[in-house]
């Protein structure tokens, strides 16, 4: 049986950014979450990491744990490249509580990782991409390769990767969804070791390749709705990359969307920096799904100067998902899965929407939040400007009459492209509500109770950040609540 070499101790408790609410280890490259699992009160997050540098390559699995989704404790490197099959690409982790794999004869909490192992094909522009198994008998601290890897061989395709495993309780078996070019393929297994192909589904509006699929079953009105997530590496609107989703049904063999294919593209996050979404396995159904994503964009991720915040790659805040009927139909609603305590807020004077402009300069770049609430249903327009002393500028416009959000970002001193986007909001609700959540190097917006969200990196290079809020052209007032985000003392779930 092959085992991992002793992993280098490159990360430790003090290697994450202190006092921040967005996870990101220091002095290394980080990308996709690659295995999220909840077990006995701990949120485990595995993730893609290059322990030897701040650019992509030499991909391993890192490991971190938390009780509140804010304060993370780094663990030793989890999975190192396979000696024959190659790098440890993205995948997922499940708890084999019934020992269906036979790998845990004396335990009921064995972790099984199902991941892509990849190595370059000589003379070709692709990797061999096989799906392999690794397992842990000590809740992710140490790992072993399964002796008969790969469990799914290479398909001679340019893109075949990122398996997400989930439990199909109705049929007492495991299922996996794997990206395959512009489509996703479904597989099934009874023991996590032997897999057979079920079906393949094409996806709408994927100009190049989809990655990091996830399929989640959500309770809704006494039944279930299945949500299929996938990331596109090149956005159909020319914006680089992002996460899309479809609502539909899953019969154990294939996923059927609830709308025709040509209408099926739904944008999960309309910002520039949201990719590779994955949900936590093992959460109680009553808690609802919780997801996290890589806060970056493949169009320029490799060109970002790591020195501007001591890290190249971080995650969004975890998000709690719900389903709700809106003016545009059934929609995913998302909100931060962390504690935001308005009891400790600092209320600012009301902003006159006809002429006023709120402006303040935090002592550092976060974390803090600003809640903007319309005091009148006539409030129709908000402008949020974020700027730094190094010339960085992010200009966000929320037009509630048109139901539209647009954004423009420039960073003239950095080698990053100017970004410009325009999206429809799923539900232009009234009165206006916008939560602005800011941290070092990132801002996330949640509009109208989470019916729309947007994530943007801030290239502050450690300089102070200035935030302006304007609401011209309409009578009424905007109530502004500003509060520093305190480190939570409890989990968002029940105490453990």
Rounded to the nearest 5°, which phi and psi values hold at 337?
-90, 45
32 is an active site residue: yes
Residue 412 burial (CB count, 10 A): 10
Cβ(215)–Cβ(164) below 8 Å = yes
* Residue 60 vs residues 15, 181, 208, 276: alpha-carbon distances, Å: 17, 23, 25, 16
**What does the block give as tokens for 400?**
């509630």
Cβ(166)–Cβ(215) below 8 Å = yes
Q: Single out the residue of 136, 147, 87 nearest to residue 107, CA to CA.
A: 136
- Name the active-site residue from 32, 162, 269, 439: 32
2 DSSP assignment: -
Q: Single out the residue of 40, 10, 41 nearest to residue 26, CA to CA.
A: 10
Q: Which residues contact 169 (CB under 8 A, 6 or more apart)?
A: none
DSSP per-residue letters across 155-205: -S-S--EEEEEEEEGGGTEEEEEEEETTEEEEEEESSSSS-EEEEEEE-TT
Cβ(227)–Cβ(319) below 8 Å = no
Q: Calculate the CA dihedral of residues 345, 348, 349, 351 and round it to 10 degrees.
A: -120
Q: Which residues are catalytic?
A: 32
């Amino acid at each position: 049986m092959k085992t991992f070499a002793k992993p280098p101790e490159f990360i430790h408790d003090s290697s994450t950014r202190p006092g921040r609410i967005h996870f990101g280890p220091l002095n290394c490259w980080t990308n996709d979450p690659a295995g999220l699992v909840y077990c006995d009160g701990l949120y485990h997050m595995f993730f893609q990491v290059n322990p030897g540098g701040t650019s992509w390559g030499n991909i391993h699995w890192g490991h971190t744990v938390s009780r509140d989704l804010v304060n993370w404790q780094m663990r030793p490197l989890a999975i190192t490249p396979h000696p024959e099959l190659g790098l440890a690409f993205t995948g997922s982790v499940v708890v084999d509580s019934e020992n269906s794999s036979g790998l845990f004869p004396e335990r009921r909490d064995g972790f099984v990782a199902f991941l892509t192992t990849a190595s370059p094909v000589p003379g070709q522009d692709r990797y061999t991409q096989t799906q392999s198994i690794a397992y842990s008998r000590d809740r992710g601290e140490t790992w072993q390769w399964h002796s008969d890897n790969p469990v799914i061989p290479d398909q001679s395709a340019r893109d075949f990767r990122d398996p997400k495993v989930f439990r199909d309780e109705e049929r007492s078996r495991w299922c996996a969804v794997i990206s395959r070019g512009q489509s996703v393929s479904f597989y099934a297994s009874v023991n996590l070791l032997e897999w057979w192909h079920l079906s393949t589904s094409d996806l709408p509006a994927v100009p190049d390749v989809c990655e990091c699929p996830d399929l989640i079953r959500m309770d809704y009105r006494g039944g279930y709705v299945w949500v299929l997530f996938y990331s596109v590496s090149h956005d159909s609107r020319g914006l680089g990359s992002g996460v899309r989703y479809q609502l539909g049904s899953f019969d154990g063999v294939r996923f059927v969307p609830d709308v025709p294919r040509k209408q099926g593209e739904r944008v999960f996050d309309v910002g520039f920096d949201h990719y590779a979404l994955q949900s936590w396995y093992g959460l109680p159904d009553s808690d609802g799904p919780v997801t996290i994503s890589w806060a970056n964009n493949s169009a320029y991720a490799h060109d970002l100067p790591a020195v501007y915040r001591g890290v190249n790659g971080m995650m969004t805040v975890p998000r709690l998902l719900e389903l709700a009927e809106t003016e545009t139909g059934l929609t995913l609603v998302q909100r931060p899965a962390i504690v935001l305590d308005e009891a400790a807020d600092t209320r600012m004077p009301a902003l006159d929407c006809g002429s006023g402009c709120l402006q303040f300069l935090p002592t550092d770049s976060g974390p803090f939040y600003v809640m903007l609430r319309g005091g009148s249903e006539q409030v129709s327009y908000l402008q949020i400007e974020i700027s730094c002393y190094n010339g960085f500028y992010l200009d966000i416009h929320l037009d509630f009459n048109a139901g539209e959000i647009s954004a423009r970002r420039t960073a003239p001193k950095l080698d990053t492209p100017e970004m410009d986007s325009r999206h429809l909001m799923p539900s232009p609700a009234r009165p206006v509500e916008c939560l602005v959540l800011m941290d070092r190097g990132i801002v996330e917006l949640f509009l109208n109770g989470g019916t729309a969200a947007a994530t943007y990196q801030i290239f502050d290079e450690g300089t102070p950040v200035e935030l302006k809020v304007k609401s011209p052209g309409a009578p009424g007032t905007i109530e502004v609540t500003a509060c520093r985000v305190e480190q939570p003392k409890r989990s968002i779930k029940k105490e453990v």
